[in-house]
Amino acid sequence: MEKKELINSGKVKSVFTTDNEDEVIIEFRDDMTAGDGARKEVMNNKGAYNAVISSKIFKILEENGVATQFIDLPEPNVMVAKKLEMIPIEVIVRNIATGSLVRKYPIEDGTRLEPPIVQMDYKDDEYHDPMLNDSLIKALGIATQDEIKILTEKALKINEVLTKFLKDAGIILVDFKVEFGKDKDGNILLGDEISPDGCRLWDSETLDMLDKELFRKGKDDEVMEAYIEVYNRIIPDDEKVI
Ligand code: CDP
């Protein structure tokens, strides 16, 4: 499988066309960014850790009935995936209140949210990913009411499956962000990635952070150790490729 044309270079991943027009090759780079890309560093092997973690999670989700774009991981940092037309919505699910939620609303940090909060933000760094609601989504022409319902249901299902999977690895899924897209037949599939870049993950016992929040807080020297800890806990020894 060969990379052909670069069709999108995001903050941390590059997407290429390939021989098969229904598929893309996604290269996970070693970049780490924060603040809508304002701060950027290179972290050794970060792309590979995220690609392997994301592939594992996508496989677990597939086994539990959530359709994803994942096809294969031919190299540790290279994913072959179904080509999707991405929907510019960041669907965020929150099980514990923290981050922007407690900065913007009178909810105490650490409050357990039952049922979980599902929030949709408009994916656009220039506008700083503003929060959406149903009528804004429709006014912007991003999705229909039926599609909003599908995104919500899928995000909650992902939360249910992942919360259990990570709990078994001694990790609390505090919150996370997912993105979806449509395949050539119009089916909505989970796309992008699920990795410590877009999740808040806390050690179940110590409540230590195991995700990109460390980088956001300037603890750059602790970030890769945390990502590797997540990798070691969720990737069985016979599946380890890094
Ligand atoms: O506190 P902060 O502004 O970083 O974001 P948040 O709205 O509290 O983030 C909720 C969850 O979504 C966290 O797990 C973030 O990592 C994730 N997120 C993301 O991956 N990308 C974004 N653009 C926004 C949030």
Of all residues in the chain, what percent are helix, strand and coil, respectively (each to 5)? 30, 35, 35
Q: Is the CB of 213 under 6 A from ligand 1?
A: no
Whether 198 is in the pocket of ligand 1, judged by its Cβ within 6 Å, is: yes
Q: What is the C-alpha to C-alpha distance for residues 217 and 209, in angstroms, rounded to an integer?
A: 11
Q: Which CATH architecture has domain 85-220?
A: 2-Layer Sandwich (3.30)
Cis peptide before 236 (omega within 30 of 0): no
Atom number in ligand 1 closest to CA 101: 8
Residue 104 CB partners (closer than 8 Å, separation 6+):
none
* CATH number of the domain located at residue range(s) 6-82 in this protein: 3.30.200.20
Rounded to the nearest angstrom, the distance between the alpha carbon of 3 and the centre of ligand 1 is 31
Q: Whose CA is nearest to atom 11 of ligand 1?
A: 176
* Within this chain, domains 6-82 and 85-220 share the same CATH topology: no
* Domain spans of the chain, in order of start: 6-82, 85-220
Structure confidence at residue 36 (pLDDT): 85
3-state secondary structure 130-158: CECCHHHHHHCCCCCHHHHHHHHHHHHHH
- Does the Cβ of 47 fall within 6 Å of ligand 1? no
Q: Decide: 142 and 89 in contact? Cβ < 8 Å.
A: yes
Q: Which pLDDT belongs to residue 196?
A: 98
| Confidence at residue 108, expressed as pLDDT on a 0 to 100 scale | 98
Task: pLDDT tens for the chain, 242 residues: list them.
Answer: 799 999 999 999 999 999 999 999 999 999 999 998 889 999 999 999 999 999 999 999 999 999 999 999 999 999 999 999 999 999 999 999 999 999 999 999 999 999 999 999 999 999 999 999 999 999 999 999 999 999 999 999 999 999 999 999 999 999 999 999 999 999 999 999 999 999 999 999 999 999 999 999 999 999 999 999 999 999 999 999 99
The best mutation among 36, 92, 93, 98 to test binding of ligand 1, ranked by most ligand atoms within 8 Å of the C-beta, falls on: 92
**Are the C-beta atoms of 195 and 50 separated by less than 8 Å?**
yes
Which pLDDT does position 178 carry in this prediction? 99
Burial of 117 (0-12, 13-18, 19+ CB in 10 A): middle
Q: Ligand 1 within 6 A of 199 CB?
A: yes
pLDDT of residue 11: 96
Q: Is the CB of 200 under 6 A from ligand 1?
A: yes
Task: Determine the residue of 177, 192, 200 to mutate for testing ligand 1's pocket, defined as the one with the most ligand atoms within 8 A of the Cβ atom.
Answer: 177
